[in-house]
Amino acid sequence: MELVRTREELTTARAGLTGTVGVVMTMGALHAGHEALLRAAREQADHVLVTIFVNPLQFGPTEDFDRYPRTLDADLEVCRRAGADVVFAPERDEMYPDGEPRVRVDPGRLGGELEGQSRPGFFHGVLTVVLKLFQLTRPDLAFFGEKDYQQLTLVRRMARDLDVPVRVVGVPTVREPDGLALSSRNRYLSPEERAAALSLSAALRAGAEAAEQGRDAGAVLAAAHGAFGAGTPGARLDYLVLTDPDLEPGPVSGPARLLVAAWVGTTRLIDNMPIRLAPRS
């Protein structure tokens, strides 16, 4: 496995990869969720390229950019074990040599909703760095986690709308045995907050169960809200919504997605699940 720190080194390393290349983009602090992405890439592409970069552009001024966990040595070990060929881990100046870029990707309507409403500018920052990383790594396949479902949806949309020649592959969310979705930010949680964080997955599970029982969209949402409220106190709901699987506006029936975001102490967590509603008669 080769570690490259500059764009020039990356270009040389990329040129040496023959066959298909799968990219896994991360902000480091790798966990079993990232490992699932790496496994999928290993299975579906001839070579695996991992990027590790805590992208300042997607953090708001009051967010956790400075305290975001940075664990490069451990991350490299995870990548090595997972069979990655190349890891690109640039410094900030390497990615943004002119400081903040003046041109950014416009994420459109969806970019201002849900995560984009609570984190203004977030998806401008995400899509800008993802597009830059697509240009630099030139992957055939790109693997993104369903845990960040709106991000996955917007990356797919960007690839389609801006003609990026890449196949975007979604990987199901990896969870702790008690249901908590793995997230690098889980390491911020105290034991009490960890218990309160279960409200998110409990809400989603209750919604999914209501849907399996044939309940309509209103009852599914009510069940999810009820379970969120019945959890260990400490989680403050940001949003809990039931949408079309492409996050398009309008009434939902059949396949749908239930998405939740909440604050637990100073940590913001997100989660989501696929739901199948009975078709409306």
Ligand X SMILES: CC(C)(CO)[C@@H](O)C(=O)[O-]
The smaller minimum CB distance to ligand BAL, of residues 13 and 171, is found at: 171
Residue with nearest beta carbon to ligand BAL: 148
CA distance 28 to 74: 9
The smaller minimum CB distance to ligand BAL, of residues 58 and 201, is found at: 58
By the 8 A CB rule, do 217 and 242 touch? yes
148 binds ligand BAL (CB under 6 A): yes
Binding partner of residue 33 among ligand X, ligand BAL, ligand ATP, none, CB under 5 to 8 Å per kind?
ligand ATP
Q: Does the annotation list 84 as a binding residue?
A: no
Residue 225 DSSP code: H
The three-class DSSP label of residue 199 is helix
Determine the length of the chain.
Answer: 281
37 binds ligand ATP (CB under 6 A): yes
Binding region for ligand X (CB under 6 A) out of 59-67, 124-132, 186-194, 230-238: 124-132
Strand order in the sheet with 267-276: 235-243, 255-264, 267-276
Q: Minimum distance from CB of 159 to ligand BAL (Å)?
A: 17
33 binds ligand ATP (CB under 6 A): yes
114 binds ligand ATP (CB under 6 A): no
Q: Which long-range contacts (CB under 8 A, 24 or more apart) does 42-46 make?
A: 42/82, 42/83, 44/141, 44/169, 45/19, 45/20, 45/21, 45/139, 45/140, 45/141, 46/17, 46/18, 46/19, 46/20, 46/21
Q: Does the annotation list 183 as a binding residue?
A: yes
Binding footprint of ligand X, residue count (CB under 6 A): 10
Q: Minimum distance from CB of 219 to ligand ATP (Å)?
A: 28
CA distance 27 to 9: 20
58 binds ligand BAL (CB under 6 A): yes
Q: Are strands 255-264 and 267-276 parallel, antiparallel or unpaired?
A: antiparallel
Token digits of residue 120: 């203004």
The three-class DSSP label of residue 230 is helix
Binding partner of residue 129 among ligand BAL, ligand X, ligand ATP, none, CB under 5 to 8 Å per kind?
ligand X
25 binds ligand X (CB under 6 A): yes
Question: What is the binding site for ligand ATP (CB under 6 A)?
Answer: 26-27, 33-34, 36-37, 144-145, 147-148, 171, 173-174, 181-185
- Which residues are documented as binding site for beta-alanine? 58
- Which residues are documented as binding site? 27-34, 58, 145-148, 151, 174, 182-185
